[in-house]
Structure 1
Amino acid sequence: MCLIAWHWQPNSANKLLLVANRDEFYARPTAALRWWEDADILAGRDLQAGGTWLGVSRSGRLAALTNHRDPTQQRADAPSRGELVSGFLRSDLSAEAYLSELRPHANNYNPFNLLVYDGSNLMGLESRHARVLDLPDGMGAVSNADFQTPWPKLNGLTKSLQQQLTQGQTSDAALLALLQDRRTAADADLPTTGVPLPLERALSAVFVALPDYGTRACSVVRLGVDHVDFTEQGFDAKGPLQVRHLRAKLAPRV
């Protein structure tokens, strides 16, 4: 996952609205959104390593992950970061307890940001700093830097999402359209992350489209008190795939 934005209203019937794009190599094998056979997890699945980038559980938990972009910090022998998402969704630990257990071991993985929601609290972990964040109500976002780092794509998506919410234009179609914005940032506004300028420019778009790498999934998740709606628009190198929408009743919290 490379870009996530959300609107969290813990005291509302519609607690969490989240929109996200997963960017990945087209050659990496991936299963589309579905209920997993081996767990009560609704998510797409990385068929190479077995984890996921964004998912929800039948008990109303949510987790999502972005990679921190720094080519100098990548290790080929590091475990898959996708297991951190599925690990939280399989767990019954609170968000705070899960991140507290993970924090001392976060540097075992290539750098990441992990967003978790346990039905009560929305929290994040920045692995580079081993820092746990208690995220506030309202709008938030993360891309391939620390939470709320004001990259152009993050600022653009957050502003557009806020406008859609204000105007009441929050249909799946409207939110998926926000996630398919291919405009790139001006060179003067680009971050410096250690990749060549042409790649930095291409990655500055909300929706990335390169010959062998790009946005593979645009997702909209709505978590209410007793239900979840999850919509995913898939893409491959040739263009859009089927839109999948799944609605499920959540198990009562004990």
Structure 2
Amino acid sequence: MCIVTFRWAPESDQPLLLAANRDEFYERPTERMHWWPGDEVLSGRDQRSGGAWLGITRHGRFAMVTNIRNPALRKQGAPSRGALVRQFLEGVQSAANFAHATMADAGRYEGFNLLCGEVGASARSLWFANSQEGAAHAVEPGVHGLSNASLDTPWPKLLRMRQGFRHALAESDPAQRNTRLLRLLQNATPTPNAQLPNTGVPFPVERMLGSIFIVSDNYGTRASTVLSVIGDQVTMREAGFGVGGEPQDTLAFNFRIQSPPAP
């Protein structure tokens, strides 16, 4: 997943609203958003490594990961960064402890950003960890954005997405708001060449990656996801895309967060 904007409001009745695109090579085998065996974890799955990029559980555990775009951080034989999402969703460790433990082990992985937290009414927290920075911290309430640098790094496409996200917040009807966010995630407006970041990849690749919605011959946006938590009600919508941005069906999931099991 390569771009996400979200509002974190742990003291409100709507603690989390998130809009995200997952960008990946078209040939990489992927399972769409679904309930995993055991009916506890709702997430897509990378069929090559078994990891995930974004998911939530029936008990309100949430996690997502993006890569850091820096060729110098590549490691031959490194474990899948998607395993971090899977481990948190399937585990019981608090978000704070998991984020700190992940930083202690970050050197084994290629560069990554991790968001993990608990969004149920009984426990709310959201933590961010960046492998390059080597530190984890609680996310402050507010509207944030994340792509392939660090939290709130002002890349032009992220600024455009965050502005569109704020406009969508003015929509009072949650269903209409989520529809607007899915449209926002399909915005293919390119970034002017002079404004593109320099992340170490060839310039034609940098230019191709400069839009919110990415399309190319072999790589692009595979899924657009909107996640909304209102009270204990979770709504997830995922629009899928194939080669060249060909639209697939939109999946919808709705469930109530359950109280965590007694220790």
Give the TM-score normalised by the residue count of structure 2.
0.93
Is residue 39–residue 90 contact of structure 1 (8 Å, CA) maintained in 2? no
Q: Percent identity?
A: 38
Which residue matches 2:180?
174
- Are residues 14 and 42 of structure 1, via their aligned partners in 2, closer, same or farther at CA, if it must alter by over 3 Å? same
Which residue matches 2:8?
8
Is residue 100–residue 135 contact of structure 2 (8 Å, CA) maintained in 1? no
> After superposition, what is the alpha-carbon deviation per residue over 1:156-215, rounded to whole angstroms, capped at 9, x for unaligned?
100110011124475232110000000111111110001111111110100000110000
Is residue 17–residue 220 contact of structure 1 (8 Å, CA) maintained in 2? yes
Structure 1 position 100 matched with structure 2 position 100: yes
Structure 1 position 69 matched with structure 2 position 75: no
- Map 1:209-224 onto structure 2 (within 5 A): 209-224=215-230
Structure 1 position 154 matched with structure 2 position 158: yes
Is residue 3–residue 147 contact of structure 2 (8 Å, CA) maintained in 1? yes
Structure 1 position 251 matched with structure 2 position 258: yes
Equivalents in 2 of 1:250, 1:135: separation in Å?
21
Aligned to 2:86, the other structure's residue is in SS state: helix
- Map 1:126-145 onto structure 2 (within 5 A): 126-145=130-149
Comparing 19-28 with 89-98, greater Cα deviation is found at: 89-98
Q: Report deviation, 1:83.
A: 0.5
- Structure 1 alignment gaps of length 5 or more: none
Aligned to 1:118, the other structure's residue is in SS state: strand
Aligned to 1:155, the other structure's residue is in SS state: helix
- Are residues 17 and 33 of structure 1, via their aligned partners in 2, closer, same or farther at CA, if it must alter by over 3 Å? same
Is residue 80–residue 109 contact of structure 1 (8 Å, CA) maintained in 2? yes
Aligned to 2:169, the other structure's residue is in SS state: helix
Query: Partner letter of residue 131 of structure 1?
Result: A
Equivalents in 2 of 1:246, 1:218: separation in Å?
14
Q: Report deviation, 1:247.
A: 0.5
Which residue matches 1:112?
112
Which residue matches 2:247?
240
Equivalents in 1 of 2:234, 2:87: separation in Å?
19
Which residue matches 1:54?
54
Structure 1 position 226 matched with structure 2 position 232: yes
Equivalents in 1 of 2:143, 2:25: separation in Å?
29
- Structure 2 alignment gaps of length 5 or more: none
Structure 1 position 91 matched with structure 2 position 98: no
Aligned to 2:168, the other structure's residue is in SS state: helix
- Are residues 126 and 39 of structure 1, via their aligned partners in 2, closer, same or farther at CA, if it must alter by over 3 Å? farther
Give the alignment's Cα RMSD to 1 decimal. 1.3
- Are residues 150 and 169 of structure 1, via their aligned partners in 2, closer, same or farther at CA, if it must alter by over 3 Å? farther
Comparing 219-228 with 237-246, greater Cα deviation is found at: 219-228
Which residue matches 2:192?
186
Comparing 219-228 with 12-21, greater Cα deviation is found at: 219-228
Give the TM-score normalised by the residue count of structure 1.
0.96
Name segments (4+ residues, structure 1) moved above 6 Å.
Answer: none
> After superposition, what is the alpha-carbon deviation per residue over 1:49-80, rounded to whole angstroms, capped at 9, x for unaligned?
00110000110111011000011211230000
Equivalents in 2 of 1:210, 1:127: separation in Å?
28
Q: Across the two proteins, how many residue pairs are aligned to each other?
A: 254
Query: Partner letter of residue 245 of structure 1?
Result: A
Equivalents in 2 of 1:131, 1:3: separation in Å?
21
Is residue 60–residue 223 contact of structure 1 (8 Å, CA) maintained in 2? no
Residue in structure 2 matching 1:205, options 200, 211, 221: 211
